[in-house]
């Protein structure tokens, strides 16, 4: 990697930090404008996203990984994996405390942890890396390709965390588990003590004031209805004949039994109400009773459950295959011409490697990945609708998440990467790696959470997609400032 040896001026640093925003804003604004003009219906956006994930992004990853990784620099994958999981675990833990200290709506108690932990590690940071590393003080094309290859490892981690490691379950749990609102109200009223109140908040979240008030109103209505029923019963007893009140106990019991028998006769035509079976019991009912899975079958099923999202995901499979090709010289030589030290150098009639045409095709198609992703991002922002009234939004919770992801995490990430350099895990001269690892600490929440929220919402039940969108809007507005500051600060630290 070339090093200019000159420390960029403040003016240069600011321009280098602002320039990626301009390149991102242009295609994103086009997608936003087309969405608002009605030129991008929902089906078109969905189809574009499918093409992006299953075709354009795999081509981009393949074209950048194969020429970038080799036996000399494969050791950087370990520090990248460590950093990526740290960038998910650290804000996720802070999210537990953020959920406990700031109000969180009942339908967003688990998804909020996912929003803290999982950032947009796709088109957004990739576009910034592509823009910054393509010009001075980096060395241009080589550093650009290397930067995208490093980004691919972060993309691999987010796929692993979301699907095989079941991070997506956090979003799904908001629609599967109902909170005991009456018991939550008792905790908030201090019935069990102050310590129990805040311990309950840490486990389940801090309720919104309007939700508590609505629960109190429902409780008052239930109490009023109960009082009215008792008053009506008392009035009916007072209006009854005095002789009835003096009836023997045996006669009264007989009359009660007759009423029960009459009620049973009236309800005999109604079907019996049975408990709704759970998914687990439903699966057990469909399984033949004679089949008893062995330990080996259970282990195999668990392994398949873990590997299935990886095997069936085109970006993940392409990434793994590209790493294998890049690290095996014989396979690599089929796509890219080796240097003079390699003895195996097959060629096609035109003098290029036999499969170079496939590599060129992947490069050609992959170049459309980032612009397409940014257009889809702009269209997604254009479809965002905020809940009304805005006063019912958890403003303090929204600001807390934005502050955690876009202020606290970038500061911690900067010093975390610096510590990796001091410990020798990262080469201090690998400027591209240091920049990429710092940059990924400052990204908004993944926009995929809006999509997942819509998919998991049961039929007939409103999703929390609009609520998540409110969090995203604030984060993207703050990201436009924090990313510029972090980029300029990190470039100054790297090249000083």
Per 3-state DSSP, the chain is made up of helix, strand and coil in percentages (nearest 5) of: 70, 0, 30
Q: HSE on the CB side for 101, CA within 13 Å?
A: 10
Contact present, 1 and 488 (Cβ < 8 Å): no
Residue 425 in this model has a pLDDT that exceeds 90: yes
128 confidence band (pLDDT: 50, 70, 90) = very high
Enter the DSSP assignment of 121.
Answer: -
pLDDT at 276 (0 to 100): 34
Q: Which is nearest to 172 in space by CA: 463, 466, 374? A: 463
90 confidence band (pLDDT: 50, 70, 90) = very high
CA distance 396 to 393: 9
Q: Where are the domains of the chain?
A: 10-179+303-495
Note the pLDDT tens digit of each residue in 307-357.
777 777 888 888 889 989 999 989 999 999 887 667 788 888 888 899 999
Note the pLDDT tens digit of each residue in 259-299.
444 434 443 333 333 333 444 344 444 455 555 678 888 88
Percent of the chain with pLDDT over 70: 88
Fold category of 10-179+303-495 in CATH: Na+/H+ antiporter like fold (1.20.1530)
| Residue whose token pair is 């436009």 | 480
Cβ–Cβ contacts within 10 Å for residue 440, how many?
Answer: 27
- 166 or 60, which is more confident? 60
Cβ–Cβ contacts within 10 Å for residue 171, how many?
Answer: 26
Note the pLDDT tens digit of each residue in 28-45.
899 989 988 888 887 787
Q: Which is nearest to 347 in space by CA: 333, 331, 332? A: 333
CA distance 69 to 454: 38
Residue 305 in this model has a pLDDT that exceeds 70: yes
Residue 315's alpha-carbon distances to 85, 114, 196, in angstroms, are 19, 21, 46
Phi, psi for residue 329 in degrees, rounded to 5: -55, -35
């Amino acid at each position: 990697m070339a090093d200019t040896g000159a420390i960029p001026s403040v003016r240069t640093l600011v321009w280098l930090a602002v320039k990626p925003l301009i390149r991102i804003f242009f295609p994103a604004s086009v997608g936003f404008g087309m969405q608002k003009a009605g030129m991008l219906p929902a089906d078109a956006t969905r189809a574009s996203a499918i093409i992006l994930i299953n075709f354009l992004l795999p081509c981009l990853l393949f074209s950048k990984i194969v020429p970038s990784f080799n036996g000399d620099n494969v050791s950087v994958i370990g520090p990248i994996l460590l950093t990526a999981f740290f960038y998910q675990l650290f804000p996720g833990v802070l999210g537990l405390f953020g959920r406990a200290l700031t109000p969180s709506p009942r339908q967003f108690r688990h998804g909020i942890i996912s929003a803290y932990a999982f950032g947009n590690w796709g088109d957004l940071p990739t576009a910034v890396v592509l823009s910054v590393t393509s010009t001075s003080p980096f060395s241009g094309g080589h550093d650009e390709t290397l930067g995208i290859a490093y980004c691919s490892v972060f993309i691999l981690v987010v796929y692993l965390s979301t699907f095989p490691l079941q991070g997506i379950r956090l979003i799904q749990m908001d629609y599967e588990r109902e909170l005991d609102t009456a018991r939550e109200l008792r905790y908030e009223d201090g019935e069990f003590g102050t310590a129990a109140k805040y311990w309950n908040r840490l486990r389940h979240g801090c309720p919104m004031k309007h939700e508590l008030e609505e629960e109190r109103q429902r409780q008052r209505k239930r109490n009023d209805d109960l009082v009215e029923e008792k008053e009506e019963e008392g009035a009916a007893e007072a209006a009854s004949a005095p002789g009835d009140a003096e009836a023997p106990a045996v006669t009264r019991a007989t009359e009660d039994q007759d009423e029960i028998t009459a009620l049973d006769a009236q309800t005999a035509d109604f079907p019996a109400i049975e408990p709704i079976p759970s998914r687990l019991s439903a699966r057990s009912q469909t399984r033949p009773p004679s089949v008893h899975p062995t330990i080996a079958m259970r282990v195999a099923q668990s392994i398949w459950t873990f590997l299935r999202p990886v095997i069936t995901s085109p970006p993940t499979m392409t990434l793994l295959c590209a790493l294998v090709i890049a690290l095996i010289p014989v396979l690599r030589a089929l796509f890219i011409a080796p240097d003079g030290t390699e003895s195996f150098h097959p060629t096609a009639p035109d003098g290029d490697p036999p499969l170079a045409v496939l590599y060129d095709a992947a490069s050609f198609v992959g170049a459309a990945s980032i612009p397409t992703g940014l257009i889809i991002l702009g269209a997604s922002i254009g479809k965002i609708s905020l809940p009304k009234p805005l006063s019912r939004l958890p403003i303090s919770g929204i600001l807390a998440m934005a502050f955690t992801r876009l202020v606290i995490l970038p500061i911690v990430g900067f010093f975390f990467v610096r510590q990796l350099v001091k410990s020798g895990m990262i080469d201090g001269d690998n400027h591209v790696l240091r920049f990429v690892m710092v940059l990924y600490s400052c990204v908004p929440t993944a926009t995929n959470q809006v999509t997942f929220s819509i998919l998991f919402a049961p039929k007939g039940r409103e999703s929390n997609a609009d609520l998540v969108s409110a969090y995203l809007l604030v984060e993207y507005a703050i990201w436009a400032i924090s990313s510029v500051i972090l980029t300029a600060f990190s470039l100054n630290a790297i090249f000083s």
